[in-house]
Amino acid sequence: MLIPDDEAGVTAALRKASAAGTPVTAAGAGTGVTGARVPLGGWVLSLERLTRLEIHGGHAIAGAGVALHDLHAAAARSGQFYPPDPTEISASVGGTIATNASGARSFRYGSTRRWIERLRVAPADGRLLEVGRGDAIDFDPGVIPLPAVTKNTAGYLLRPGMDWIDLFAGSEGTLGVVTEARLRLLSAPAAILAGVIFFAGDDAALDAVDQWRSNGARMLEYRDAPSLDLLRGRFPEIPAPARAAILFDQELSSEDGPETDAWVERIAALAEASWFALAARDRERFRQFRHALPELRHGQVARVCTLPLRGPTIATGIRVVARSLSHEYLRQR
């Protein structure tokens, strides 16, 4: 494993690897669950020491090794916030760019790609490129038809009119190693109302989502009955009649503004048993509630599945795990 101190160390390692024909796997904070930083030979290039962080009005300069929670905290101290909010706040900035991570606020703010203004990237030959939003690509990367869906963060964004940032964000380090980024910040809202709204069944929950999509929420997430059953071990206060839930997050102009009352009026069944919060400490509890589900499910996988990490057996292992999870989910339903 190579752990360079700066960009010069990154580019030197890539030049040496390229000359020797040695594969390189870029490593972020290791928070992903897909095994993307697990090497199949060659060198591992850790970016953990690239931790420069500067906060300015409207943007931040962040090294690839900066932890997301440090970026959020620094922005908050300046009265600003960074809109992308992936599940793992200990993830590195470089990792979230490589994966085009999204998270809780993606309903309103989209994925990481949308908030990148400039990138410093080292391709395999060891050069150091600096590219900005709007910089045209100097070759034809081709076009891949994109699905007509609200959210799609997977794979290369190959479309007409794309720029260098579109190309590098989400490329999983296959086209170059991101060393630093200039990221756009927004002014922090005056207040935030968060809630976990419980429903007696799926139909009522999904009807509510259809009605609430246009109300300006920055997060709307659904939890079904098996999810709530899994969560009850950690959150026994979940109402017994609840068989579905919607998590929401709404920016407010003030804590006592009309938007708060409007949300209460929108909620029907199980409203008295639902959870609401304006205080940051209480909203943190809701964040933990949101993140508990993948943590618990990953724990189940770890207990019942063995995933070999050697060569082509990785893909086979993933298929086995996915099939077993699907069967278990259907059985619980």
Indicate the SS3 state at residue 92. Answer: strand
pLDDT at residue number 65: 97
Q: Are 268 and 200 in contact (CB under 8 A)?
A: no
Of 18, 17, 36, nearest to 26 by C-alpha is 36
Cβ-count burial 236-268 (b if 16+ within 10 Å, e if not): eebbeebbbbbbbbbbbeeeeeebbeebeeebe
Identify which has the larger pLDDT, 219 or 74.
Answer: 74
- Which band of pLDDT confidence, cut at 50, 70 and 90, is reported for residue 12? very high
**Crossing angle of helices 258-266 and 202-212, rounded to 10°:** 150
- Which range has the worst mean pLDDT, 36-50, 148-162, 212-226, 243-257? 148-162
Domains assigned to the chain:
7-187 (3.30.465.10), 191-300 (3.30.70.2190)
pLDDT of 281 > 90? The answer is no
The residue ranking higher by pLDDT, 130 or 283, is 130
Average pLDDT estimate for 83-95? 91
- Distance, in Å, from the CA atom of 75 to the CA atom of 58, rounded to the nearest integer, reads 10
Say which residue, 67 or 287, is predicted with more confidence: 67
DSSP 39-52: -SSSEEEE-TT---
Q: pLDDT tens digits, residue range 154-195?
A: 778 888 889 999 999 999 999 999 999 999 999 999 999 898
Torsion of CA 107, 264, 215, 84, to 10 degrees: -20
Percentage with pLDDT > 70 across the chain = 87
pLDDT at 306: 53
Does the pLDDT value for residue 317 go beyond 50?
Answer: no
| Per-position DSSP letters for 53-71, written without gaps between them | EEEETTEEEEETT-BHHHH
The better pLDDT of the pair 37, 168 is held by: 168
For the chain, percent helix, then strand, then coil, each to nearest 5? Answer: 35, 20, 40
In sequence order, which residues have a C-beta less than 8 Å from that of residue 130 and are 6 or more positions away? 118, 119, 120, 121
Highest mean pLDDT among 111-115, 149-153, 279-283, 294-298: 111-115
Is 304 buried (19+), middle (13-18) or exposed (0-12) by CB count in 10 A? Answer: exposed
Among 210-219, 223-232, 311-320, the range scoring the smallest mean pLDDT is 311-320
Give the residue-averaged pLDDT of 130-146. Answer: 91
178, 175, 190, 173: which is closest to 66 by C-alpha? 178
Residue 229 and residue 218: Cα distance in Å, rounded?
26
Q: How confident is the model at residue 116 (pLDDT cuts 50, 70, 90)?
A: very high
> What pLDDT shows up at residue 331?
54
Quote the pLDDT of residue 126.
94
For the chain, the first-to-last Cα distance in angstroms comes to 45
- pLDDT at residue number 44: 95
Least reliable range by pLDDT among 122-126, 148-152, 170-174, 300-304: 300-304
Q: Is the pLDDT confidence value at 232 over 50?
A: yes
Going along the chain, which residue ranges are E strands?
Answer: 24-27, 43-46, 53-56, 59-63, 80-81, 116-122, 129-132, 177-184, 186-187, 191-199, 219-223, 244-252, 275-277
pTM score: 0.84
Q: What are the counts of helices (DSSP H) followed by strands (DSSP E) for the chain? A: 10, 13
